[in-house]
Amino acid sequence: MDEFDLINSITPRTIHHSSVDVGIGDDAALYTAKNGVQEIVCVDTMVEDVHFKLSYSSPEDIGYKALAINISDIAAMGGIPKFYLVSLAVPLKWTESEIKAMYEGMNELAKLYCMDLIGGDTVSTSDKLVVTVTVIGEVEKGRACLRSLAKPNDIVFVTGEIGSSAAGLSLLLKESSHPETSFETNYFINRHKRPQPRVSVGRLCSNAQRVALNDISDGLASELHEIAESSSVSIEIDESLLPVHPDLPKLNSKWKEWALFGGEDFELTGTISKEDWDVLEQECCRLQLPIKKIGCVREKTESNVILKTEEETMTLEKKGYNHFK
């Protein structure tokens, strides 16, 4: 394929944001930032056979997830995703139509959030496919939902269901038995391949006086540890309150491990004052956005994250996916 023909074919013909002054077509993109907002910039890389396998992920799936995981980071800051850039290292075996399909997967999600593709890079490689996406968003100045904002007596919450992505991966790798109907099977698999960023909940959180947020990329326990460490507090959660799909326990005896340490759910977990929790919960209910209280914030102790079960209270390790362990 010809690199420049490819670039021309994926260059957007229209833009969603009038603040874009120069998009694809020059050495770099230009856009005009607003007064009164802070720019949010995040980047994530997905590598073939580390984050996905071509045996079970289509080009559209890969593109969709590569953008989704970055949008989730914007959501965790309480922000609005606006622009994205894509860098690809593509094996020579890939066809032009497959690469375009990957961009179509991204575009499917970008249209939902009115995001503009404003640049990137494409190179060839003799090894695995590598997809790096950078997303730029914005949040009102002083309203970002930082990990360092948790305080004792706050409510700890989580959006959606946890553990479903790890279950989907287990099904794809044929490590778990299938549930009774194909509908539930597809549900778990889609939760792994096509996560739904919680931008709407993040925006509601940014309206509160003070919210600490993380997106669940490396596992609930790991994300709560990061909030506890940044805020110098301890976090206590109740196992009986963890929101999981009713079929999750049927798949594998490891389902609690999936819920606590599985990762890649790309839900949001965070802390909020008791007063603001009532408002957030009511707004989420009104908008049919899933959210649930799972615990509370305590004064700093020897343990950063504590799990209460029916039998005992235990310390949760900072365990989850780690590229270097």
Q: Is residue 208 part of a domain?
A: yes
Judge if 176 and 308 occupy the same domain.
yes
Distance CA 62, CA 73 (A): 17
Q: Is residue 322 part of a domain?
A: no
Judge if 14 and 131 occupy the same domain.
yes
Helix (H, G, I), strand (E, B) or coil at 276: helix
Q: Is residue 325 part of a domain?
A: no
Judge if 152 and 266 occupy the same domain.
yes
- Indicate the annotated binding residues: 27, 44, 51, 73, 103, 120-121, 147, 215, 217-218, 264, 321
| pLDDT averaged over every residue in the chain | 92
- Indicate the annotated binding residues for ATP: 103, 120-121, 147, 217
- Indicate the annotated binding residues for Mg(2+): 27, 44, 73, 121, 215, 218
In this structure, of 31-35, 162-166, 219-223, the range with the lowest mean pLDDT score is 31-35
pTM of the model: 0.91
State the CATH number of the domain containing residue 212.
3.90.650.10
Are 211 and 205 contacting, i.e. CB atoms less than 8 angstroms apart? yes
93, 123, 140 - which closes a domain: 140
Judge if 14 and 93 occupy the same domain.
yes
Q: Is residue 110 part of a domain?
A: yes
Query: Among positive and negative, which fits the CA dihedral 236, 241, 243, 244?
Result: positive
In 3D, which of 201, 232, 231 has the Cα closest to residue 216? Answer: 201
Q: Is residue 321 part of a domain?
A: no
Q: In the numeric block, which tokens belong to residue 22?
A: 């120069």
Q: For 250-309, how does the pLDDT look when each residue is reduced to its tens digit (9 = 90+)?
A: 888 989 999 999 999 999 999 999 999 999 999 999 999 999 999 999 999 888 999 999
Are 82 and 171 contacting, i.e. CB atoms less than 8 angstroms apart? no
User: Which residue segment(s) compose the domain that 216 sits in?
Assistant: 147-315
Does the pLDDT value for residue 238 go beyond 50?
Answer: yes
Judge if 81 and 196 occupy the same domain.
no
- Indicate the annotated binding residues for substrate: 51, 264, 321
State the CATH number of the domain containing residue 42.
3.30.1330.10
